[in-house]
Chains A and B, each alone.
Chain A
Amino acid sequence: MTTLRPFTCDDLFKFNNVNFDPLTETYGLSFYTQYLAKWPEYFQLAESPSGQIMGYIMGKVEGHLDNWHGHVTALTVSPDYRRLGLAALLMSFLEDISEKKRAYFVDLFVRKSNQVAINMYTNLGYIIYRTILEYYSGDQDEDAYDMRKALSRDVNKKSVIPYTQPITMRELRRQMRHDH
């Protein structure tokens, strides 16, 4: 049971019950404000009937030509509101917006070890498109899966023909630069 609404600056003061979760990063202000200013409709929040923040999704739309796509930057659900299908709801919202913006596909990066999330995205129709080597830096670097789901504009599902080889961060950056 959810209210979906755009994420606002004031929510930054209230999202602690979500952000205290160890898998949710609290970024610097400029990160949030950049997303809010640039892709306001891609930053949505789910609110409970009691007014608590249940979770939120943060994303963007970018890329050239047939690489024009929606991207999920962060998706998080408070521990109190798990197993309610909330992540699916937020994802479908983002896919819907991307459809309306005539994007070809939606993609996201996930830790290779985060099996819970990978299963969830698979259930939502995402495939593992490729592996990105050492995408997450930390005490121990970790690879990421780049997962994708084609949208209706990609009639021939060209965007979801998986790579067979993993790519490095350097290659990824080069591709992204190329895209902008």
Chain B
Amino acid sequence: MAHQQGMDSTLFERRLRPVYDNLEVGNNRKALQESEKLLRKHPTLLCARALKGLSLLRLGRYDESHGCLQTVAEEKPTDDSTLQVLSFCYREMEQLDKIVELYQHAVKQNPGNEELLAHLFISHVRVEDYKAQQAVALQLYKAQPKNAYYFWSVISVVFQGIRGPESALPEKRKIYLGLAQRMVDKHIKEGKMETEQEAFLYLHILKLQNKYQEAWEFLTGELCAKLYPGAPVSMKFELLKELGNWRELNELLQQLLDADRDRWDFYKEYIQSSFELLRLSTQGVQNGEKDSLARCQEFLQGIIDSSERKKRGPYLARLELHQRMRAEQLPAEKLIGDFDEMVIEYFRLFGDKSCCTHDIALFLPSISMNQRQALASKLLLESGVTSTSLPKNKEQLQKHLCALQISRMCGSHMDLPVDHLLAFYTALKLHYEHGRSTFGKKLLATEMGPSDAYALLAANVMYDLSRRENKSDHLFEALCLLQYVLRNSTSNFHVKLLSLKIYHLFGCQVGAQEMYEYLDIKQIQLDSMGYVHCQLLPLGGRFSGNRNVYDATLKFFTNSYKERLEYIALTYRFCTFSKMEEFMNFKERLTNSLQYVACSVEAQICDLVGCYGNITQNLTAYVAMSIEPAEDRIAWHELSDNRDLEAIIRWDPLHEVDAAEERKESFDQEVEVLQVRSLMLRLFASFIDLYHGAGLKDSAPGTETTTLELLRESWTGLFQRLRLMHYKPLAQKFLVNLLPTRLHLLLDMPYERFFDDLAQLVLDLQSGSGKLAEQCKRVGDNVITVMELCVQTINESNESNGMDGLWKRRGNQQKVAATLEMLSLYAFLLSVLNDKLQVSSKTKAKKKPVENKVDGPQPISEKERSQMLQELMRQLKHKLEACDAAIRTWKAPVLPRDLSSFMSDMSLKPEVEATLIGDVSATFKDSHELMITELRNLLKDKIRMVAK
């Protein structure tokens, strides 16, 4: 057959082209037609049949597609195009082992075929079967003695030793690595090593076995110099360190630093090696040999003295040496000089660079709080800008900014009284405006304004004030200021990030969305930056409006998930041994991203809450979500925190910020939130499945409710555990801190009880338990509680609106959203139960009489159950209407203070001021109105759902 096809392959290729073309542009229906047309003429053409299978798959006709692909696979195709199409389909369906089988058959029929073997190899790579990889690579090498294949087998052996199932056993690891080394040794001996990646791999194998001396000899030998001239010099550092050869390392680094005087990596190693030498040569000092630290200091000073153009490197290195000497109780001051003086000198030289703040901040933790604040004052003085003077040029402005940022980091602003802070804020605002009008006039659209950082600092100060007073007006003013800055420097992402944060803090989702879009977050940023927006949307007040953001995020994740293994295959194709493990770890990190999993769960909840069709449509949509309640698909221990928390700039007091702790705390809580949300989803799905599940037919009689009962137990168990954990809400100390997670909201709102009681209701309804009426009452009471929470929250929001419409806004919106979420899910459930009971009471006559248990009460009749259900629906409808009535009265937030006087001390043109404040206010108003519209639409749908 392969031969037959081979004869006219060009002809067939031409005939197949339209199918491929249509598939490529997503015209799947047309592709199907074209493939069927072709099959009428050539019914045995395998590739056309495979393509038909692909078209069906793309059209979502899975059963037909499976059948079609199965018959093609059974014929054990060997031609490349058919195999390609089939593997593509199996990749889409995540049936990676089928690709292995496919190529195994093909290879069996064409032993020694290089191309097929290579495909087989990659198919093993996809399932990470290193042993099989090794075998195929050797077959390949036998068929075609190419270096690539030889080293494919070497790396496959290495991976068996360090990643495969046997890698946990030290003796196995040793055997594999030893084997890998011998394989390469042999190749070297035969003079066959050719590329730098091969040389890299050899070094890697030696290092994995702790054979550092051999690695050193290879690295500094002739062959490596020839093959791998670009070997990173850091490899040498690493090996010399392992070998304890500090003297040589020290000398090497001096040479390197002489040539390249601004390399932090070199200085860091250099200083470390100097300390190690000191440790080694405590005896040497007596012989008159100079202390290695003294030589280090001399060397650094020499670089400083001989450099014409001042570079930061040696100065920072000197500070580092100072810091480390102090840490080891060595006389730093005696050897190097006064620390403050050195920092001031650094500031004098480099204070006009915006990185100066980061640089100085590195050394602040090593000095006392008093010394920090004193130093900060000295720097401020040094900047030459006083309370009565303004920066004379851009450089001085930058120095002033740096000094102010350092002051904040040293905690100098924290204890100032309110009026003092307000005056400080006003000064910052004026400095911003002065800097903008004096030095920022010819700004390119892509540049940040020279004085923008004043406004950023101002926003942080205003947050401090707002928090101290528990009032929103200062922060609201800061938001307006930031929005003003954004008009002047449209590309300043710091401003966008802070505005985004403030909008969320005030529950203004429209404003947040605007900033988010303005940031143009895309691709992998959707993962690393999703926490600034996507993560904050669920239960923020809207439902349907969030779906688009989830969609964009999920689209990125599903695409990368599909592609994840091809990246790794690529490293094999290019024999990039140095990147393989990195790529594999990256794949894990991406597929286990908390953001990915959380977003998927929220999107599903969002869909269930929002479904608005008739019962059949809703159930179809539900089935398509393919939630498997019995199956926990989340790899809880693998979840990965991919957030780039450092992307948001901050100058908060160093002694009050523990970034690592904040990351851990928030991540832990987010994982708990995900536990609750995913369990809620599964529990709810088990309710639905009990009545409409396809899987129920398979379960043995009497076990239909097992899943539900287990999940219910987990549900209450989870809440019990969470309450015992006593998580604290994330501290909101500074503007940049993360907003509280939803954990406490979920614990405080009656979620636990609501779904627990629903579980009992569903069970009682199914069994016709005598306690059904009681359970209905309990559920009904819960509904009243939830409804009252909704109404009460809105009333409170309206009442406090006059005093402060924003400070508690987000919290209130969250509560209302939570109540509506519960009621909406409940409405969906009731509609499903009602549908089922009506159907079953109609078909009741056909049913065999259930054998009555001898003792034990009679189950309640279906008719009675149906009536109770009707009553619940009536009650829910009534309560939903009450919620709707409350929402109708929900007032838009009253914005702080008299808006017209609000930025009067700015030198803004009146028309600018008016439009600016107008725009910000309009955003809040729009956001509120949009939320009301969405929530009311949601309620309207739910009322309709239970009205029948």
Using a CB–CB cutoff of 8 Å, the interface residues on chain A facing chain B are: 1-6, 8-10, 12-14, 16-17, 19-23, 26-30, 33-34, 36-38, 40-41, 47-50, 52, 54, 79-85, 89, 97, 100-101
Contacts and interface: CB of A to CB of B under 8 A. Distances in A.
A17 B312 contact: no
Given A13-B644, A17-B649, A80-B354, 20 more contacts: A1-B264, A1-B316, A2-B265, A3-B265, A8-B582, A10-B585, A13-B524, A13-B642, A16-B647, A29-B524, A29-B560, A36-B583, A37-B573, A37-B579, A37-B583, A40-B579, A49-B316, A49-B359, A50-B359, A80-B355
B491 to A, nearest CB: 4
B528 interface: yes
Contacts of B529: 16
A5 B359 contact: no
Contact of A79 (B262, B448, B560, B589): B448
B358 A48 contact: yes
In the complex, which range does the number of interface residues on chain B fall in? 35 or more
Interface stretch (B227-235, B606-614, B750-758): B227-235
B647 A28 contact: no
Residue in A14, A40, A101 with the greatest tally of chain B CB atoms within 10 Å: A40
Contacts of B737: none
Contacts of B574: 37-38
18 contacts: A1-B263, A2-B263, A6-B232, A9-B586, A10-B586, A13-B524, A13-B528, A14-B646, A17-B646, A20-B519, A30-B566, A34-B570, A36-B582, A37-B579, A37-B583, A80-B355, A83-B353, A97-B230
A21 B583 CA distance: 26
B135 interface: no
CB-based closest 9 A-B pairs: A9-B586, A20-B493, A3-B265, A16-B647, A1-B312, A33-B567, A37-B570, A100-B229, A22-B491
Nearest to A80: B354
Nearest to B452: A79
B430 interface: no
Contacts of A8: 582
A115 B523 CA distance: 29
B528 A16 contact: yes
A14 B528 contact: yes
A23 B354 CA distance: 19
A28 B264 contact: no
Contacts of A17: 646-647, 649
B355 A9 contact: no
A33 B445 CA distance: 31
Contact of B567 (A20, A30, A97): A30
B860 interface: no
Given A3-B264, A4-B263, A36-B579, A19 B525 contact: yes
Interface of B: 196, 229-230, 232, 234, 262-265, 267-268, 311-313, 316, 353-355, 358-359, 361-362, 445-446, 448, 491, 493, 519, 522-525, 527-529, 560, 563, 566-567, 570-571, 573-574, 576, 578-579, 582-583, 585-586, 589, 642, 644, 646-647, 649
A178 B859 CA distance: 82
Nearest to B532: A16
A40 B200 CA distance: 12
Given A13-B528, A34-B570, A84-B355, A50 B362 contact: yes
B888 to A, nearest CB: 41
Nearest to B560: A29
B578 A40 contact: yes
Contact of A48 (B234, B355, B585): B355
Contacts of A82: 354
Contacts of A21: 446, 491, 493
Contacts of B354: 79-82
B583 A3 contact: no
A52 B646 CA distance: 8
Contacts of B448: 79
B446 A40 contact: no
Contacts of A6: 232
A1 B586 contact: no
A134 B17 CA distance: 32
A37 B312 CA distance: 34
B91 to A, nearest CB: 15
Contacts of A84: 312, 353, 355
Contacts of B234: 5
Contacts of A10: 582, 585-586, 589
